[in-house]
Chain A
Amino acid sequence: MTSVDERVLAPDAPAPASTRRRRRRGKPLSPLLVAFVLVPFAVESIWVFWPALQGFWFSLTRWDGLEPPTYIGFDNYAELAGDATFRGALVNTVLWLVLFGGLSVLGGFGMALLLQRERRGVGFYRAALFTPVVFSLVVTALVWRVFYQPDGVADELLRAVGLEHLIRPWLADPDTALYAVILPALWRQIGYVMVLFLAGLKAIDPALHEAAKMDGANNWQRLWNVTIPQLRGVNAVVLSVIVIDSLRSFDIVWALTRGGPYHSSELLSTYMYSTAFQSLRLGYASAIAVVIFVLALAVILGYLVRAFREDA
Chain B
Amino acid sequence: MIRALRTGSFHLGMSLLSLLWLAPILWVVVMSTRTFDDIAANGVGSLPHSFTLDTYRQAWTDGGELRALINSMLVTVPAVTLSLVLAALAAFALARFRIPGRRTILLLMLAGNLLPPQILLIPVSKFSELTGTFDTLYALIAVQVGFGLGFYTFVLHGFMRDLPNEIQEAATIDGAGPGQIFARVILPLTRPALAALGALSFTWIFNDLLWAITVLRTDDNMPVTPALLALQGQFVSSWNVIAAGTVIAAVPTLLVFLRFQRHFVSGLAIGAVK
Apart from A2-B172, A11-B96, list 18 A-B contacts with CB within 8 A: A7-B168, A11-B98, A30-B178, A34-B99, A39-B86, A41-B90, A47-B120, A121-B11, A135-B250, A136-B208, A142-B228, A146-B44, A152-B45, A187-B24, A195-B269, A248-B118, A277-B214, A292-B116
The chain A residue with its CB closest to the CB of B121 is A276
A127, A138, A237, A248: the one contacting B116 at CB < 8 Å is A248
Question: Is A86 at the interface (CB under 8 A from chain B)?
Answer: no
Residues in chain A near residue B120, CB distance under 8 A: 47-48, 51-52, 55
Q: Give the size category of A's interface with B.
A: 35 or more
Check A106 for interface membership: any CB of B closer than 8 A. Answer: no
| A78 CB–B CB distance under 8 Å | no
Q: Can you list 28 A-B contacts (CB < 8 A)?
A: A4-B173, A36-B90, A37-B90, A37-B93, A39-B89, A39-B90, A41-B90, A47-B143, A48-B146, A54-B122, A55-B120, A121-B11, A133-B268, A136-B207, A139-B228, A139-B250, A143-B24, A143-B27, A146-B45, A146-B239, A149-B44, A152-B44, A152-B45, A156-B43, A195-B269, A277-B121, A288-B118, A293-B118
In the complex with contacts A36-B89, A43-B146, A55-B122, A156-B45 CB distance below 8 A? yes
Contact B25 A40 (CB under 8 A): no
Would A11 and B95 count as touching, CB distance under 8 A? yes
Determine which of B21, B93, B100, B161 lies in contact with A131 in the assembled complex, contact meaning CB atoms within 8 Å: B21
Determine which residue in A47, A65, A276, A293 has the highest number of CB atoms from chain B within 10 A of its CB, and name it. A47
Expressed in whole angstroms, the minimum distance between the Cβ of B127 and any Cβ of chain A is 6
How distant is the Cα of A195 from the Cα of B263 in the complex, in angstroms?
Answer: 12
- Taking a contact as CB atoms under 8 Å apart, the answer to whether B109 and A143 are in contact is no
Q: Contact check: which of A12, A51, A128 meets B21 at CB < 8 Å? A: A128
| B121 close to A37 (CB less than 8 A) | no
Which of B45, B242, B257 is close to A153, meaning CB atoms less than 8 Å apart?
A: B45
> Which stretch, B50-58, B147-155, B190-198, touches the partner chain A?
B147-155
Please name the 10 residue pairs, one residue from A and one from B, whose CB atoms are nearest each other, closest first. Answer: A47-B146, A136-B207, A199-B269, A51-B123, A128-B18, A156-B45, A36-B93, A54-B123, A151-B43, A40-B90
Q: How far is the CA of A285 from the CA of B121 in the complex (A)?
A: 10
Instruction: Give chain B nearest CB distance to A72 CB in angstroms.
Output: 16
- B269 CB to nearest chain A CB (Å): 3
B residues within 8 A CB of A44?
Answer: 109, 112, 146, 149-150
A274 to chain B, nearest CB (A): 11
How far is B213's CA from A187's CA once the two chains are assembled, in angstroms?
25
Residue of B nearest to A270 (CB): B118
Number of interface residues of B (CB under 8 A): 101
Contact between chains at A10 and B161 (CB < 8 Å): yes
B contact residues around A257 at 8 Å (CB):
none
Which residues from A are CB-within-8-Å of B22?
128, 131
Pair A146/B273 contact, Cβ less than 8 Å: no
Complex CA gap A147/B31 in Å reads 11
List A contacts of B45 (CB < 8 A): 146, 149, 151-156
Pair A273/B118 contact, Cβ less than 8 Å: yes
Partner of B273, one of A135, A200, A244: A200
A272 to B44 Cα, complex, angstroms: 34
Which residues of A sit under 8 angstroms from B117, Cβ to Cβ?
A: 248
For A52, list chain B residues within 8 Å (CB): 112, 115, 119-120, 123
| CB <8 Å contact, A2 and B86 | no
| Max count, chain B CB within 10 A of own CB: residue among A40, A41, A272, A296 | A40
* Chain B residue at smallest Cβ distance from A10: B165
CA distance A44 to B10 in the complex (A): 48
CA–CA, A202 to B269, complex, Å?
A: 11
CA distance A134 to B145 in the complex (A): 20
